[in-house]
Structure 1
Amino acid sequence: MSDLITQYLPFALGLAFTGAVSGIMAGLLGIGGGIIMVPAMVFAYQLLGYNPDIIMHVAVGTSLAVIIPTGMRSARSHDKRGAVDRTIVKLWAPWIVAASLLGGLMAGLYSAAALKVIFGVMALFIALNMALPVQRRLMEKLAGVPMVNRISAAVIGYVSALMGIGGGSLTVPTLTAFGTPIHTAVGTSSMLGVILAVPAVIGFVISGWSAVGAPPLSIGFINIPSLILIGGLATLTAPIGVALAHRLDAKLLKIVFAAFLVVVGGRMILQALGI
Structure 2
Amino acid sequence: MDLLTSHGPWWLAGLAVALVATGLLAGVLAGLLGVGGGIVIVPVLFHLFSLLGVDPSVRMHVAVGTSLATIIPTSLMSSRAHRRRGSLDPALIRRLLPGVLLGVATGAVASRYLAGPWLTAVFGVVALVVAVQMGFKREGSAWRDGLPGPAATAGIGAGIGGLSTLMGIGGGTLGVPILANLKVPMHTAVGTGALLGTVISIPGAAAFLVNGLGVPLRPPFSLGHVNLLGAALIVPATMLSTKWGAALAHRIDARRLRQVFAAFLALTAARMLLSLWH
Distance in 2, Cα, partners of 1:23 & 1:158: 23
8 Å contact from structure 1 (residues 61, 201) kept in 2: yes
Aligned match of 1:15: 19
- Cα 1:84/1:24, change in 2 over 3 Å: farther
Match of 2:96 among 86, 92, 97: 92
Residue 185 of structure 1: how far off its partner (Å): 1.0
Q: Give the CA RMSD over aligned residues.
A: 2.2
**SS of 2:63's equivalent?**
helix
Aligned match of 2:86: 82
Distance in 2, Cα, partners of 1:22 & 1:152: 25
**In terms of mean alpha carbon deviation, does 204-213 or 236-245 score higher?**
236-245
In structure 1, the gaps of 5 or more residues are: none
8 Å contact from structure 2 (residues 42, 63) kept in 1: yes
Q: How many residues align?
A: 272
Aligned match of 1:257: 261
8 Å contact from structure 1 (residues 15, 229) kept in 2: yes
Aligned match of 2:223: 219
8 Å contact from structure 1 (residues 120, 269) kept in 2: yes
8 Å contact from structure 2 (residues 99, 157) kept in 1: yes
Distance in 2, Cα, partners of 1:144 & 1:95: 13
Residue 169 of structure 1: how far off its partner (Å): 2.1
Residue 25 of structure 1: how far off its partner (Å): 1.6
Distance in 2, Cα, partners of 1:90 & 1:243: 31
8 Å contact from structure 1 (residues 127, 258) kept in 2: yes
Residue 176 of structure 1: how far off its partner (Å): 1.5
Residue 212 of structure 1: how far off its partner (Å): 0.8
Distance in 1, Cα, partners of 2:216 & 2:203: 23
**Residue 129 of structure 2 is aligned to residue 125 of structure 1:** yes
Residue 161 of structure 1: how far off its partner (Å): 0.8
TM superposition score normalised by structure 1 = 0.90
**SS of 1:82's equivalent?**
coil
Q: Aligned residues: percent identity?
A: 38
Deviations 1:65-114 (A, max 9, x none): 10111112222333333322233223222322231132123213112211
**Residue 195 of structure 2 is aligned to residue 191 of structure 1:** yes
Residue 182 of structure 1: how far off its partner (Å): 1.2
**In terms of mean alpha carbon deviation, does 232-241 or 48-57 score higher?**
232-241
Q: How does 1:1-275 map to 2 (within 5 A)?
A: 4-133=8-137, 139-140=143-144, 143-245=147-249, 249-274=253-278
TM superposition score normalised by structure 2 = 0.90
Distance in 2, Cα, partners of 1:175 & 1:248: 24
Residue 229 of structure 1: how far off its partner (Å): 0.5
